[in-house]
Amino acid sequence: MLSIKDLKANIEDKEILKGINLEVKPGEVHAIMGPNGSGKSTLASVLAGREEYEVTGGEVLFNGKDILDYSPEDRAREGVFLAFQYPVEIPGVSTTNFMKTALNQVREYRGEEPLNAVEFLKVMKEKMELVEISQSLLNRSLNEGFSGGEKKRNEIFQMAMLEPKLSILDETDSGLDIDALRIVANGVNKLKSEDNATIVVTHYQRLLDYIVPDYVHVLYNGRIVKSGTKELALELEERGYDWIKEEVDSTL
């Protein structure tokens, strides 16, 4: 599904990603961890197509197509979901209306008929129950005055509605409490299927107490320096990152 080959990227002429290789197959959940400043958010942003980052080499194949030339919108239409690419706040536009537009855009791109109001409400109700979001939250303006937990719930709801093939979640907000982590984890677990895949970029060991990833990767100094299963996450929890840094630095 996703094949990242020797991906290199700069920000302001400084090389941050120094050759990332990653293969993600349908049905898999991958966690990307690593010390602060190692390039995790840069990787998520480059996959999202954010313009501040200059890709200097490599390729990102999504179902065989190199999506590096695609706009963020076209990536989304292809089925790539990036929680943080959505607008921070839209006063006066309810989450429901925003979602209806977003979903019908995606459906149009996939060659599917737009949903009418009745059909949309039916899908919405189903997904609301799945991710346990309340009608009152959906009636409010998108993200306006949302708490950290409400924003997370809304992101997971968007993910449930759009049924992306690949979701990339960058859990960067250090202010998130344990409830918000649980919302993200429950959502990822419930939405997991044989047809979709998730990459969770996380600074939190604790998130992986709730999400069981199939693979765990450690990003350090712009490269994936170690990959393993969930046991690797447990080892990191116990031993931290210093042993990995030493292993890598001693081979330089």
Which residues lie near ligand ADP (CB under 6 A)? 11-12, 16, 34, 36-42, 52
Q: Decide whether 141 or 172 has the Cβ nearer to Mg ion.
A: 172
Q: Decide whether 36 or 251 has the Cβ nearer to Mg ion.
A: 36
Asked if 150 contacts 179 with a C-beta cutoff of 8 angstroms, the reply is no
Give 109's contacts (C-beta < 8 A, 6+ positions apart).
77
What token pair was written down for 93? 């536009």
Q: Decide whether 103 or 218 has the Cβ nearer to ligand ADP.
A: 218
Nearest to 103 by CA among 48, 47, 163: 163
Question: Smallest distance, Å, CB 50 to ligand ADP?
Answer: 10
What token pair was written down for 135? 């009608």
Among ligand ADP, Mg ion, none, what binds residue 105 when CB lies within 5 to 8 Å by partner kind?
Answer: none
Among ligand ADP, Mg ion, none, what binds residue 38 when CB lies within 5 to 8 Å by partner kind?
Answer: ligand ADP
Among Mg ion, ligand ADP, none, what binds residue 187 when CB lies within 5 to 8 Å by partner kind?
Answer: none
Q: Decide whether 21 or 41 has the Cβ nearer to Mg ion.
A: 41
What token pair was written down for 208? 């992986």
DSSP 68: G
Question: Smallest distance, Å, CB 132 to ligand ADP?
Answer: 29
Question: Smallest distance, Å, CB 171 to ligand ADP?
Answer: 10
Which stretches does DSSP call E strand in 103-221?
141-142, 166-171, 197-202, 215-220
Question: Smallest distance, Å, CB 16 to ligand ADP?
Answer: 4
Question: Smallest distance, Å, CB 220 to ligand ADP?
Answer: 9
Q: Decide whether 37 or 240 has the Cβ nearer to ligand ADP.
A: 37
Kindly write down the DSSP assignment for every residue of 154-181, as one continuous string.
HHHHHHHHH--SEEEEEE--TT--HHHH
Binding-site ranges for Mg ion (CB under 5 A): 36, 40-41, 172
Nearest to 80 by CA among 135, 24, 21, 145: 24
